[in-house]
Each structure stands twice: as C-alpha cells, then as structure tokens.
Structure 1
Amino acid sequence: MRRREFIAGLTAAATAQSGAFGQQSKQARRVGVLVGLAANIDMPVARAFLKPFREAMGKAGWVEDGNVHIDYRFGGALSDLANTRASAAELVALAPEVIYAQGLPATLALRQQTATIPIVFTQVIDPVGFKLADSLGHPGGNVTGFVVWDFEIGGKWMQLLRELDPKLAKVGILFNPDTAPYAPGLVAAARDAASGVEVIELQAHNDGETEAQIEALGRERNTGLLVIPEPFTNGHRDHIVAQCARFRVPALNSVLGAVDDGALMSYTFVWDELVSAPVDYIDRILKGASPRDLPIQAPRRYEMVVNLKTAKALGVDVPPVLLARADRVIE
C-alpha cells in the first residue's frame, strides 16, 4: 500500500472512531440519585453510600460520564423534608431514565413528583403500607427496590438485648417520631418479644432530649437501650453513642457506623450489599425492564457486631454463646 493511501486510511479510521465516540456520548443514558440521609457529597454517609453504588455500576458496565451521566442530589443531614422535596423536584425536572433513592423520605418525595419515571429504592421499610407499591411480589407502578428490614426485626433486637443481660428489666426505645413514621411497627414487635421486660418509648427531637432520656435510663439498674435507625438517630449518631458511654447504658444501636465508633452491639443488613444490590434493577430498567415487574426484595444477609472494648468499659460480660454467634467482634 502506498504511503498516501495508508495515511488516508488512518485518517478515515480516526474520523470514524471520533464520530462513533461522539455518537456514544450523545447517547449516554441518564440516571438520578437522591441520597436522603446526607446534606452533601462530602458527608460520611454519602461517601459510604456512593462508593459501593459506583463500584456496582462499573461492574455492570455503566461508566460514569462515559455511557451514563449521573445527577446527584441530597436530602439533608437530618432528612430535612423540605430540602428532600426540593431535591426530588430538581431530579425529576432533569428527566432521568431511572432514579435511585436512599431512604423512605426520599422515595416518598420522588413518588409525589412522578408516577412515570422508574424509581429504585433502598433502605425503605413497609413500601406497601406507605403506598409505594401494590405488593412486594408485584409492585405494579413506577417504584420498586430493596427493603431495609421488616417490622419483625424489632423482636430480634429485643431478643439480643435479653440475651446480653439475662437480668434485663427495662428497655428504652429511642427514636424521633417526626422522622421515623415506621417506628410504631418496630416498637410493637419489640414489645411482643419483651417477655416480662418493661418497654418504654424515648421520643427525642434534639440532643438535649436525647441526653435527658438516656441519663434517666442510666439511673436504673438492669436497663438497656434500643436505638431505631432513622434519619434523626443517623444524624445524631455520635451524640447518642457518647451519652450511652457517659451514663453507662448498654445499647443495641444499628445505625451505620455506630458500633465501630463505640456502640455496644448492632444487628442489621450488610451495608455494601444492600446499597449495591439495586444496581441490578437500574441496569435492567435501562435495558428495557419495567419496575412494575421487578419484585421488591429483602436484604440478602444480616450481620451482628459486638464491640468488646465498649463492653469492658461498661462492665458488661457478653455471654460466650452470644459472642460466638457474632459475625464481627471489635476488640
């Protein structure tokens, strides 16, 4: 082949490749993400959420700013409902092909904005009760996803506290009623499993109320605390852990990161798995599936974590049988 023809061939190939890349860029798909439990992308909750999500998208073949463009919005550090609704409206206005929602407030806000754009959620409880879906097996609308747990986990939490302290006499259940509309179902399940243990609701709206509630509980003997993971307790995680240490109250606290930062025990879903699992549904929707036909799923795996350093500081002897069942022990 003559040099002139060779160069012409290279030029034509380069032009074709450039044109194909330009065409691919124009055809990039659009996905929205509403992180309900964070105010911005720099918050620990946001980073912990987005890392496994992005890794799962990459494994599914979706390259950010390559064949997919992702718009991120945030609900607020304490799930400010007004901010969550505003962020949901912004995302819907961008007309993405599918939106990934973290948490119940974010999912409800998005559903109020659109009945057509597919929404895939995570960390939601009772989606049928909150009218997000017709049923778990057949959602029937534009919303599907992965529940965080069902109400029965409240009984499991109570059971673990009773195993931790056979002399347990009273358990306080901490939550903010304004940010945890699903709390009554969890409290009811905990009461059913209490078996003679007194159960009291500790409703708190700010740090002052939280401190007073935990201090009062700490004045009594053979008490324990059950912290319901929800927007308020997520946002006030460190304060709650600190007050439990200060007033020597053993707590089962399944808020993300609480046990690593000093809470005594947690029992909940495996975070990375729950966050990344919905990417399969996002991938399928981008390829033509309808959310109405994708069943709502439960977490694939739960784990129990015990912090022995905290147990020692509180003077709590963790029963060997309970310790042997732990998936992870912090020493």
Structure 2
Amino acid sequence: MQRRDFIRLVGAATAWPLAARAQPRSKHIIGAVRVPRRGESAHLEEAFRKGLAQTGYVENQNVVIEWRYAEGDYQRLTGIVTELVDRRVDVIVALGATTTALAAKAATQTIPIVFMLGSDPIKFGLVASFGHPGGNITGVSILQGPVVTKRLDLLHQLIPTARTFAVLIEPDNAFSETERSEAEAAARTLGLELHVANPKRQDEIDAQFPDLIARGVRGIMIGTDAIYLGLSRQIAASAARYAVPTVAQWREYPAAGGLMSYGSSVAEGYRLAATYVGRILNGEKPAEMPVQQPTKFEFVINLATAKALRLTIADKMLAIADEVIE
C-alpha cells in the first residue's frame, strides 16, 4: 500500500465517527423529570403525551421521552438533570416541583427548559417576567399561594367549631417556605391556630397524624408537593384511620378517597407544558413564550368519605362544588 493511500484510508476512518455523530436525529429526545416514584400518578404522564400529540408529536414515533424519577428524593435531582444535559436531549421538562426547575436551570443555559410548577417563577429567579421569560426557560405556573386561604376556609366551613388545624409541608422543596408563610397568613386571617408538620415519607406521615390529633388538630391541609400527590391514596387512608377531615390541591386526592380538594388541575398543567415542548421542537424560543397560568380552579368533594367521617356537607357547599364523588 502506498503512503498516499494509507493516509487517505486513515483520514476516512477518523472522519467517519464525526460524520455519523453529525447526522440529524430521526427522533427528538425529551428529558422529563418527575419527583415521585415511577408509576405514581401515571395518568399525568398520559396528559403530557396528549399535549404533545396536539402539537404533532407521538412518543416512539417521532419523539422519544426519557422519563426520569427522583423516587421522592430531592437530593437526586441535580444528578438526574446533569445526566440529561450530558445526553444532549432537545428539551428538559421539569414537572411538578420548583426545585426540579431550579436544578435544570443551574445545569444548562442552552438546552430549552419547560417547567410545570406551583410557585411564582419570577420570585425564584426562573424567568424575568411572565410575559417575557428571557433565557432558555418557560412553562406553566399553577400558582398555589393565593388559594391556600381558600382551602383552609373550606375546611373551616366544614367544621366551623374547630379552631386548630394543621398543614403538611415537604421541607426539601424550594417552595416550602413560601407555602408555609401563605398557610400561616391564611390561619391568621381566619383567626385559627395552625400547626406545621414536615413529613417526607409515608411512614413519617403516619406518625404525624396521631401526634397532630393529640395537639387538638381537627382538620389537616395537605401541602402541594409532588411527593404528597404521589401518596394521595396512602394519605387518604391515614386520614380515614384517624377520622380527620382533610383538603388537598388536586382532584386526585378525593378521587383516591380523601375528603376534598381545591385548586388547578395538575393534569391540565402537564398537558399545557407538553404543548410548549412541542412548540419548542417546532422552532419557537422559550424566551419569547409567555409563562402560562391556568385560571380554572376545581372544588371536589368525596361525599362517601364525608359520610364515613360522619360529616354533614351543607347544601350551599355542595352547590358550589364542581364535582361530588358519591
């Protein structure tokens, strides 16, 4: 073999992997990060797929979704997001927690990020404004602070003689301090005493219920954390065991046997976030996509649970409910 032919052969072999890597992907890759354990609240992932389909993207046809789960441990989020950045996904989706969005923003300033969370993204430095997010991040904010007072008020209306209540707040979520402040302000407005408990796992929740009842707590608000959403059925069972009225943000809670819920639809938030992902894949820039804010709030009552707790739901409360589960 002549020297000229050898150099040509080596050059071609060296260039081939670079050329292969430069080929466009046949499918876009989405990195979707959730805090709960795999399999919890799987219907929310279906809502996400529905939103993608509305923009022309179908999982495993023209897009791949790399689902990642923190398994209820916020400490794992940084590693998860870093892995997705190294994977060079086309979009990172931070679903259901402020801490997830913060981890994603800290990990990349180039890969587009779409969040779905319950906090004020401006307050946490995620976006410059709702109308003009700036940077590489936008999404959906189902603001929870303003409706905390309403949830506590509904619980108080149900048991008007009660003066002592409690709220469960997951302490590792970046939103926890804001949620605590909102809950305490709501209690002061209503003239109620409020105990704050910080369980992270189901066994800690089970341990908190008898302790709170011993302190005179007559009703409990379930915090908005994604971990609690994933544990809706277990929390509802604990509330039934100790015969304590409860209220949560999500319809999933009374559907799982809890007493009632008031708040924006999480499933709708997932769907809206997915439509933003699709628009980004179609060429739009996150900096130019206003943060969406769902305006519809759902009030759901599980009448069967109320009867089991020997509670009488006033007709006026039933009249304003968007759904009554028999």
TM range (shorter): 0.7 to 0.9
Residues 99, 208 of structure 1: alpha-carbon distance in 2 compared, 3 angstrom cutoff: closer
Q: Distance in 1 between matches of 2:148 and 2:199?
A: 19
CA distance in 1, matches of 2:199, 2:267: 29
Aligned to 1:44: 40
TM-score with structure 1 setting the length: 0.83
| Cα distance change on mapping 1:277 and 1:165 into 2, 3 Å | same
Instruction: Please show how residues 215-230 of structure 1 align to structure 2 within 5 Å.
Output: 215-219=210-214, 223-230=218-225
Equivalent residue number for residue 183 of structure 2: 190
Structure 1 residue ranges without an equivalent (≥5)? 1-24
Note the alpha carbon deviations across 1:73-124, whole angstroms, 9 max, x for none. 313231x234322221222122233222212232222212111111011124
The 5 A counterparts of 1:296-315 are 296-315=291-310
TM-superposed deviation, 1:327? 0.9
Task: Summarize the Cα distance change of 1:206–1:122 in structure 2 as closer, same or farther, 3 Å threshold.
Answer: closer
Q: How far apart, CA to CA, are the structure 1 residues paired with 2:244 and 2:313?
A: 14
Q: Following TM superposition, by how much is the alpha carbon of 1:255 offset from its aligned partner in structure 2, in angstroms?
A: 4.8
Paired residue for 1:97?
A: 90
Instruction: Call closer, same or farther: CA 1:236–1:39 in 2, change over 3 Å.
Output: closer
Aligned 1:236-315 pairs, distance under 5 A = 236-255=231-250, 257-315=252-310
State the SS of the aligned residue for 1:278: helix
> Contact 2:251 / 2:298 at 8 angstroms: preserved in 1?
no
Matched residue SS, 2:183? helix
Identity of aligned residues (%): 31
Q: Which residue of 1 aligns with 2:77?
A: 84
AA at the equivalent of 2:147: I
Q: What residue in structure 1 maps to residue 322 of structure 2?
A: 327
- Whole-angstrom distance in 1 between the partners of 2:129 and 2:298: 27
Mean Cα displacement is larger for which, 229-238 or 98-107? Answer: 229-238
Aligned to 1:109: 103
**Aligned residues between the structures:** 301
Q: Check if 1:133 corresponds to 2:131.
A: no
Residue 222 of structure 1, CA deviation: 7.2
1:70 aligns with 2:64: yes
Q: Structure 1 residues 293 and 285 mapped into 2: Cα distance closer, same or farther (>3 Å)?
A: same
**3-state SS in 2 of match to 1:305:** strand
Q: Assess if the C-alpha contact under 8 Å between 1:225 and 1:252 holds in 2.
A: yes
Residues 270, 302 of structure 1: 8 Å contact kept: yes
SS of the equivalent of 2:104 reads helix
- 1:28 is matched with 26
Asked if 1:163 is matched to 2:157, the reply is: yes
Aligned mates of 2:182, 2:248 — CA distance in 1: 16
> What is the CA RMSD across the aligned residues, in angstroms?
2.3
Deviation for aligned residue 1:135:
1.8
**CA pair 308-73 structure 1, distance change in 2 beyond 3 A:** same
- What are the ranges of 5 or more consecutive residues in structure 2 without an aligned counterpart? 1-22
Q: Residue deviations 1:213-269, cap 9 Å, x none?
A: 211333466711001021442344333222211111100023562211211011121
Amino acid in the other structure paired with 1:84: L
Answering whether residue 293 of structure 2 is matched by residue 318 of structure 1, we say no
Q: Distance in 2 between matches of 1:235 and 1:261?
A: 11
Per-residue deviation, 1:312 = 0.7
The whole-number CA distance in structure 2 between the counterparts of 1:111 and 1:203 is: 26
Distance 1:169 1:188, change over 3 A: same
Residues 1:203 and 2:198 are matched in the alignment: yes
Deviation string for 1:141-195 (max 9, x for gaps)? 11100012241121111121122222121110112212x3312322322333332
Task: Tell me if the contact between 1:237 and 1:258 (Cα under 8 Å) persists in the aligned partners.
Answer: yes
Q: 2-side partners of 1:209 and 1:279: how far apart?
A: 34
Between the aligned partners of 2:216 and 2:169, the Cα distance in structure 1 is 22
CA distance in 2, matches of 1:159, 1:123: 23
Secondary structure of the 2:145 match is coil
Distance 1:200 1:39 in 2: 28
Counterpart amino acid of 2:177?
P
Q: Measure, in 1, the Cα distance between the counterparts of 2:304 and 2:162.
A: 21
Taking structure 2 as the reference length, the TM-score comes to 0.84
Aligned: 1:145 with 2:160: no
Residue type of the partner of 2:40?
P
